[in-house]
Amino acid sequence: MIDIELPPGDKWRLFELQALGFRDFAGVRSDAALDPFRLAKFASLLVVSFDQIKGISVEARAHLLGSGSEKWSGGACSHPLPDGRRIVILNPNHGRMRTNATLMEEISHVFLGHQPSKLKVMAENETGQTISRDYRKADEEAAYATGAAALVPFSALRRFVLEGLTSLQIAKHFHVSRELVEYRLKVTRLWGTYRAAHSTR
């Protein structure tokens, strides 16, 4: 194997190594975009479109896709199907770039072996409550951070920063939001280098 570059900090090194494992499993090149929709089946997750869900009232649907839409991004259902797969529902309003991060987090929970701690009601409404699996706070951080690292790996991120790419250009390359790239720049302590490269003008 060629040298692996890891970010500073034990916790972030661990997240990075696990994320590299996911990328290796997906067979994706070290600087290429990872498609979590292709990886989902290996995590026994079945991504179902919101429109396929039956039994949601007109009011609940209007709430979840209207005024409540910013309050949820998606989640895995608590009850597995007979074949062991779990259904994941993603907010159809959020666009592919945000959805990639949400789905990657769910995949991380599975690959990292997290056990849901309890059931949690995701959306407040009287008629069509959406039940999601809830994890312990440490597991949430690990799943999100590892998922983000799988989508935007440190080595390639560092190289793109040194080449002078903007966060938006990097985001487009990895098919993620600019916010996710900037989160990765901060947690991997590349933010100072990035800012220095883009501060003039």
Residue range at the interface with Zn ion (CB under 5 A); choices 37-45, 58-66, 86-94, 135-143: 135-143
Is 27 buried (19+), middle (13-18) or exposed (0-12) by CB count in 10 A? exposed
Give the shortest CB-118-to-Zn ion separation in angstroms: 13
Total Cβ atoms within 10 A of residue 90: 22
State the nearest-atom distance from the C-beta of 31 to Zn ion, in Å: 27
**CB nearer to Zn ion: pick between 64 and 143:** 143
Comparison of 143 and 190: residue with beta carbon closer to Zn ion = 143
Nearer of residues 7 and 74 to Zn ion, judged by Cβ: 74
The residues facing 48 across adjacent strands are: 89
DSSP codes joined into one string, 112-129: TTPPP-EEEE-S--SS-P
Query: Residues binding Zn ion: what is the number (CB under 5 A)?
Result: 2
- Shortest approach of Zn ion to residue 139 CB, angstroms? 7
Nearest to 85 by CA among 46, 42, 31: 46
Stretch that binds Zn ion, among 15-23, 134-142, 148-156, 168-176 (CB under 5 A): 134-142
Q: How far is the CB of 19 from Zn ion (least distance, A)?
A: 15
Instruction: Report the residue number, 130 or 167, with the smaller CB distance to Zn ion.
Output: 130
Least gap, CB of 4 to Zn ion (angstroms): 26
Q: Which residues make Cβ contacts (< 8 Å) with residue 119, sequence separation at least 6?
A: 78, 131, 132, 133, 134
Sign of CA dihedral 138, 195, 179, 36: negative
To Zn ion, the closest distance from the beta carbon of 101 in angstroms equals 11
Q: Which stretch binds Zn ion (CB under 5 A): 16-24, 83-91, 116-124, 133-141?
A: 133-141
Question: Quick check: 136 and 117 in contact, CB under 8 A?
Answer: yes
Which residues within the stretch 138-157 sit at the binding site for Zn ion (CB under 5 A)? 140, 143
Q: Which is nearer to Zn ion, 16 or 106 (CB)?
A: 106
Among residues 11 and 159, whose Cβ is nearest to Zn ion? Answer: 11
- Which residues of this protein are in contact with Zn ion, per CB under 5 A? 140, 143
